[in-house]
Structure 1
Amino acid sequence: MENAKIEVVVARPEDARIIALLGRITFSETFGHLFRDPSDLLHYCSNTFGLEKISRSLLKKENLFWLGLADGLPVGYAKLKLDVNSDFVKASRVGQLQKIYVLKDFLGYGIGLKLQDTLLSQAAALGCEEVWLSVLNENSRAIRFYEKNGFKIVGHHDYTIGKEHFEFEVMSKALSGES
């Protein structure tokens, strides 16, 4: 895959199965080791990445999805939610980078960067002044990635899944001049 052709395409409603599967796999690859009870992980993945939920999400006008492809195979995806409020961001038009997930075997090929650049460009084109995201504070690889790409830590929040308690960094990036 070293010379793989990398591309990003807009996801369509018929891509729901692909996104649901990619979400389950990539979430488990990234965070599965943090769950003491495997049923908590399974329950979360079933709820968050269930086919029905992803299908509904793809149809909402405030949600935009992209697929990252390597030699035509779907290996990652990104989701932007438009007009999202945040206690940490004061701009009037705000987007939330809700997900950039790439299969573990394809990390380091630039797919995440291409997904992020596409998402940020589209957010700016749609009038977003700022984009924010949450990243697990233990995920130093992701935090470095976002910092390298102009995001700054602007706050923290907690989240509980089953018996597990997680701490997140909130990061944001102004989009002036991005489009």
Structure 2
Amino acid sequence: MISQEIRLVKISLTDSEKLTKIGRQTFYDAFGPPANTEENIQSYLNEKFTLEQITKELQHYNSFFYFAMLDNIITGYIKLNMGDAQTEPMQGNPLEIERIYVLNRYQGRKIGQSLVNESIRIAKEKNADYVWLGVWDQNPGAIRFYQRNGFKTIDSHEFMLGTEIQTDIIMKLEI
């Protein structure tokens, strides 16, 4: 029997095209129609998931990206932020999980759990006070997943997806 071990690999600038591709795909799969209109999704993708934008994010010294690899296949990724890279000003010295995505065909294989575990390990390694994230209020499965991992709701914020105002729940995990 072949072992299917999940490995996390730090993403570098040379991986920007791969990251852009998986970023676009996983975001579309998670939030595309029927959850949101095609127009709003395409607008968001064309703003946040271009090669130029992803390359810029990879170059930020306070952002860290990792691919989840299963048998040398990219199955998902995380984007972590500290300091001035965070999407919201937070108290103390936190680590933000800005993006955590797994390709649909690999969901249910504990890849998301591995990504959360790695985020917590990195936060501890970087002496963060806590880990926080924003999760769409219309994604109950993700909310339950984070709650099972000990995250607690602390706030919410609005964001634009195309022409629609949406709400993220802000969740925090003390470490």
Same fold flag (TM > 0.5): yes
User: Given the two structures, how large is their TM-score scaled by the length of structure 1?
Assistant: 0.89
Partner of 2:31: 31
- What is the one-letter code of the residue matched to 2:174? A
- Shift of residue 27 of structure 1? 0.7
How many matched pairs? 171
SS at match of 1:4: coil
User: Given the two structures, how large is their TM-score scaled by the length of structure 2?
Assistant: 0.91
Task: Point out where structure 1 has 5 or more consecutive residues left out of the alignment.
Answer: none
- Shift of residue 40 of structure 1? 2.2
Task: Point out where structure 2 has 5 or more consecutive residues left out of the alignment.
Answer: none
Partner of 2:4: 4
State whether residues 66 and 77 of structure 1, in contact with CA within 8 Å, keep that contact through their aligned partners in structure 2: yes
Partner of 1:127: 127
Distance in structure 1 (CA, Å) of the matches to 2:10 and 2:144: 26
| Identical residues among aligned pairs (%) | 28
Q: How does 1:92-171 map to 2 (within 5 A)?
A: 92-171=92-171
- Shift of residue 163 of structure 1? 2.4
SS at match of 2:32: helix
- What is the one-letter code of the residue matched to 1:99? R
CA change 1:40–1:136 in 2 (3 A) is: same
SS at match of 1:122: helix
**Aligned-residue CA RMSD (Å):** 1.7
- What is the one-letter code of the residue matched to 2:36? F
Q: After the TM superposition, list the runs of 4 or more consecutive aligned residues in structure 1 that deviate by more than 4 angstroms.
A: none
